[in-house]
């Protein structure tokens, strides 16, 4: 490691698989010596870079905000004070602190402070109250930390109504309160930790295998699954990410993704803190704040940002923001993950900005990053790159029951499987652990992909997103590629619609750029003319004002599949002159039943005949 004066971490270049193998010739345990837990990481960074700025927070996400700066020694002290506070509630190592917070310095204090004495779990505060309550109960939360009404009335109103329904709860703390007595059910978090000493008053553990955190995966409906991550997984993955991106103490990394998601916590958090870099928390709502997108290039100029992480929709939005005279030469690269980046968007962005993009792959179950295009080697556009150091991946062929048959050949499409030191420890609910392993310790990612002759991995869509047309598997990205380079198209997503003859047909949902006037029919003709594979041409194109998104900014395809199913059924019933109401679950491809309500027996029989050849499960009832 370096010291505060040198400000350089000497790393060998990572250009190809040979460089990875050379790096891996030293055991990982030797590279992580002394870093068993996340608290160990913060202790070491505070020793190495005590006065360097670890966090800079813009309270309103406004370019004119005066940043609140937190040094590395202050960050370590706040984390220890938070741990001391939580330890006063007689928590066991398996107890859980839950946070529902936007991107704040206090969010980091809670995450890492809780891990020092027990577990911490993130909950997406945009979820509905019933989902939040289900997660809190499933986690058996003993302490909840959330927003004061002054900081976020919506979040406080949502959480406060749930507090009486959490019997195991020992305390609730709020962040952002300024008026005593406003939140009678909760205590002020900042005031509480300020009363704590900055030396540990708890037994400091050095157990890399201890569960540190739980992050729920996806889920905008139902109760999401909670993936459990150990200290060792968090620390090792942070080290790997810093190696992939050559993170230095001189780096300034912008965090705009939400901190209930592991990407923001690890890629633009712990991996930066490991190396003494400066993290810019660009307002409580990050990229969800339209003003941040509009001012992003000025933010880069003001803070000399060197790297940031985003999802494809963020890069598509930034394409619409002129750089103007903003000086952005400090940017070394942008990181893209969470969903595949359309090749045309990738090329457009690099051409318009001159910024190098490094596309990679990761998931909550792999802590964060599992692959990346090499920083010093060949970047293959459309590829997710090479496995992270010490990570093992392969593509496997499974049978219809999901059982392993064999490893795939070069360029043969199969299911991507991963084993690694930063693999998660399973889901909170053991029921969810069934059928997730290809072999013991090898995770079935649910992603289809292939590996080329040089070891680069290429994703071919989620297994559940593949459109099956007459027994032919269509990668939705192929359909999307027929439209994504049209100058009027901002975003495009392809899904399968039910079809009596083919099983499914691809259809495309398109969000236009501001001021565009192209019609859906014109786009459909454009897609048909451009399609390299006739079967992948969309059966229809539908224009929508806003893509359905997850809170992280990924396109939420279950909502589009639902929309496509409803439209298909409505058109079929209207053509047969059958008035009906259609009620459908959140994801028709997941086997959720569709209910058609009609007015009489004749209409019921007609509706059953119309839908009998469709692959979706339909029941017809008389109102």
Written as six digits, the tokens of 284 are 């409580």
Annotation: CATH topology of 466-547: GMP Synthetase; Chain A, domain 3 (3.30.300)
pLDDT band with cut points at 50, 70 and 90 for residue 610: confident
- Residue pLDDT, tens place only, 125-170: 988 898 899 999 999 999 999 999 999 999 999 999 999 999 899 9
Please state, as a whole number, how many other Cβ atoms lie within 10 Å of the Cβ of residue 440: 6
- Spatial neighbors of 519 by CB under 8 A, at least 6 apart, are 543
In whole angstroms, give the CA distance from residue 65 to residue 34: 38
Report, as an integer, the average pLDDT of 394-423. 92
Q: Enter the tokens of residue 20.
A: 């990875």
The SS3 call for residue 339 is coil
Q: What is the CA radius of gyration of the chain?
A: 25
Q: Which of 359-373, 546-560, 562-576 has the lowest mean pLDDT?
A: 546-560
- Which token pair is 171? 């305390």
The single residue listed with the structure tokens 């975003």 is 491
Q: pLDDT: is 87 or 446 the higher one?
A: 87
Residue 102 has pLDDT above 60, yes or no: yes
The CATH topology of domain 17-389 is Rossmann fold (3.40.50)
Alpha-carbon distance of 47 to 62, in angstroms, equals 32
The single-letter DSSP state of residue 65 is P
- The lowest-confidence range among 46-50, 93-97, 316-320 is 316-320
Q: What string of H, E and C letters represents the secondary structure of 493-537?
A: EEEEEEECCCEEEEEEEEEECCCCCCCHHHHHHHHHHHCCCHHHC
**Does residue 434 have a pLDDT over 60?**
yes
Q: How far apart are CA 364 and CA 225, in angstroms?
A: 10
Cα–Cα distances in angstroms (integers) from residue 68 to residues 47, 58, 105, in the given order? 22, 7, 9
Among 74-83, 126-135, 349-358, 474-483, the range scoring the smallest mean pLDDT is 474-483
For 225-308, where are the alpha helices, taking DSSP H only? 231-245, 262, 271-274, 290-294, 296-303
SS3 476: helix
Q: Cα separations (Å) of 377 from 351, 361, 373, 458?
A: 19, 17, 8, 17
Rounded Cα distance between 232 and 237, Å, is: 8
> What pLDDT sits at residue 604?
87
Share the mean pLDDT of the chain. 89
* pLDDT tops 70 at residue 108: yes
Q: Which residue has the tokens 């045309």?
A: 344
CA–CA dist 288, 590 (Å, integer): 29
Domain segments of the chain as ranges: 17-389, 466-547, 558-622
Structure confidence at residue 381 (pLDDT): 86
Fold of 558-622: 3.30.1340
**At 614, is the secondary structure helix, strand, or coil?**
coil
CB-based burial, 393-432: b 16+ in 10 Å, e otherwise: bbbbebeeeeebeeebeeeebbbbbbbbbbbbbbbbeeee
Q: What is the pLDDT of residues 580-604, one digit of tens each?
A: 998 887 666 666 678 889 899 999 8
- Residue carrying the six token digits 């064999």: 406
* Cα separation, 58 vs 104, whole angstroms: 9
- Residue 433, Cβ neighbours under 10 Å: how many? 13
CA–CA–CA angle 158, 161, 166 (5° rounding): 110
Tokens of 233: 């997984």
Q: How confident is the model at residue 221 (pLDDT cuts 50, 70, 90)?
A: very low
Task: Kindly tell me if the per-residue pLDDT of 572 is higher than 70.
Answer: yes
Contact partners, residue 547, CB within 8 Å, separation at least 6: 313, 491, 493, 509, 511, 555, 556
**Inter-residue contact 455 to 18 (CB < 8 Å):** no
Count the alpha carbons within 13 Å of 496 in the hemisphere toward its beta carbon. 31
For residue 535, give both structure tokens: 């079967």
Looking at per-residue confidence, does 473 or 179 come out higher? 473
Q: For position 475, what pLDDT does the model report?
A: 77
Q: What is the pLDDT of residues 347-381, one digit of tens each?
A: 888 988 989 899 999 999 999 999 999 988 899 98
What is the percentage of the chain residues whose pLDDT exceeds 90? 62
Q: Determine if residue 171 is left, alpha or beta; phi over 0 gives left, psi from -120 to 50 gives alpha, anything else beta.
A: beta
Distance CA 37, CA 89 (A): 22
Q: Which of 32-36, 140-144, 548-552, 564-568 has the lowest mean pLDDT?
A: 548-552
pLDDT at 496 over 70: yes
pLDDT at 93 > cutoff 90: yes
Q: Tell me, what's the pLDDT at 424?
A: 96
What pLDDT does 6 receive? 59
Look at residue 612 in the predicted model and tell me its pLDDT. Answer: 75
Q: Are 257 and 546 contacting, i.e. CB atoms less than 8 angstroms apart? A: no
Q: Which has more confidence, 210 or 177?
A: 210
Residue 546 in contact with residue 509, Cβ under 8 Å? no
* Confidence band for 220, pLDDT divided at 50, 70 and 90: very low
Question: Which pLDDT does position 470 carry in this prediction?
Answer: 61
């Amino acid at each position: 490691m370096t010291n505060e004066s040198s400000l350089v971490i000497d790393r060998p270049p990572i250009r190809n698989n040979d460089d990875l193998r050379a790096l891996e010739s030293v055991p990982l345990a030797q590279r992580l010596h002394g870093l068993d837990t996340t608290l160990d990481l913060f202790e070491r960074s505070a020793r190495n870079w005590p006065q360097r700025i670890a966090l800079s927070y813009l309270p309103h996400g406004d370019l004119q905000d005066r940043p609140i700066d937190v040094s590395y020694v202050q960050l370590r002290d706040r984390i220890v004070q938070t741990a001391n506070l939580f330890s006063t509630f007689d928590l066991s190592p398996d107890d859980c602190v839950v946070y529902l917070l936007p991107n704040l310095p206090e969010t980091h204090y809670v995450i890492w402070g809780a891990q020092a004495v027990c577990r911490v779990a993130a909950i997406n505060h945009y979820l509905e109250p019933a989902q939040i309550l289900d997660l809190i109960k499933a986690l058996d939360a003993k302490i909840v930390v959330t927003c004061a009404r002054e900081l976020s009335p919506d979040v406080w109103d949502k959480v406060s109504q749930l507090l009486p329904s959490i019997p195991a709860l020992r305390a609730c703390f709020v962040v952002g309160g300024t008026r005593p007595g406003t939140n009678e059910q909760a205590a002020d978090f900042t005031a509480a930790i300020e009363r704590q000493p900055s030396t540990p008053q708890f037994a400091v553990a050095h157990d890399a295998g201890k569960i540190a955190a739980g992050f729920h995966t996806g889920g905008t409906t139902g109760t999401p699954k909670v993936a459990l991550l150990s200290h060792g997984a968090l620390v090792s993955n942070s080290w790997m990410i810093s190696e992939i991106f050559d993170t230095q103490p001189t780096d300034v990394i912008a965090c705009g993704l939400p901190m209930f998601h592991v990407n923001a916590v690890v890629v633009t958090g712990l991996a930066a803190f490991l190396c003494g870099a400066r993290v810019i928390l660009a307002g409580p709502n990050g990229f969800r704040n339209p003003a941040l997108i509009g001012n992003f290039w000025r933010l880069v100029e003001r803070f000399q940002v060197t790297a940031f992480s985003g999802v494809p929709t963020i890069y598509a939005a930034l394409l619409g923001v002129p750089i103007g005279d903003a000086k952005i030469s400090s940017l070394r690269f942008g990181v893209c993950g969470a969903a595949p980046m359309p090749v045309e968007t990738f090329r457009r962005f690099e051409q318009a900005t001159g910024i190098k993009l490094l596309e990679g792959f990761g998931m909550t179950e792999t802590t964060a990053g599992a692959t990346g295009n090499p920083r010093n080697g060949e970047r293959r556009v459309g590829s997710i790159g090479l496995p992270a150091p010490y990570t093992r991946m392969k593509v496997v062929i499974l049978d219809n029951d999901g059982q392993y048959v064999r490893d795939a050949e070069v360029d043969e499409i199969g299911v991507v499987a991963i084993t690694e030191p930063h693999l998660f420890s399973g889901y909170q609910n053991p029921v969810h652990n069934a059928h997730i392993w290809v072999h013991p310790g090898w995770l079935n990612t649910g992603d289809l992909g292939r590996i080329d002759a040089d070891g680069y991995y290429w994703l071919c869509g989620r297994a559940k997103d593949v459109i099956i047309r007459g027994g032919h598997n269509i990668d939705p990205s192929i359909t999307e590629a027929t439209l994504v380079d049209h100058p009027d198209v901002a975003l495009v997503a392809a899904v399968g619609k039910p079809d009596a003859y083919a099983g499914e047909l691809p259809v495309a949902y398109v969000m236009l750029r501001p001021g565009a006037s192209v019609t859906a029919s014109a786009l459909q003709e454009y897609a048909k003319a451009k399609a390299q594979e006739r079967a992948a041409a969309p059966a229809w194109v539908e224009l929508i004002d806003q893509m359905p998104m997850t809170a992280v900014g990924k396109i939420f395809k279950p909502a589009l599949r639902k929309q496509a199913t409803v439209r298909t059924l409505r058109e079929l019933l209207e053509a047969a002159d059958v008035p009906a109401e259609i009620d459908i679950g959140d994801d028709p491809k997941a086997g959720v039943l569709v209910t058609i309500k009609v007015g009489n027996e004749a209409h019921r029989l007609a509706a059953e005949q119309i839908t009998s050849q469709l692959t979706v499960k339909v029941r017809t009832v008389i109102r």
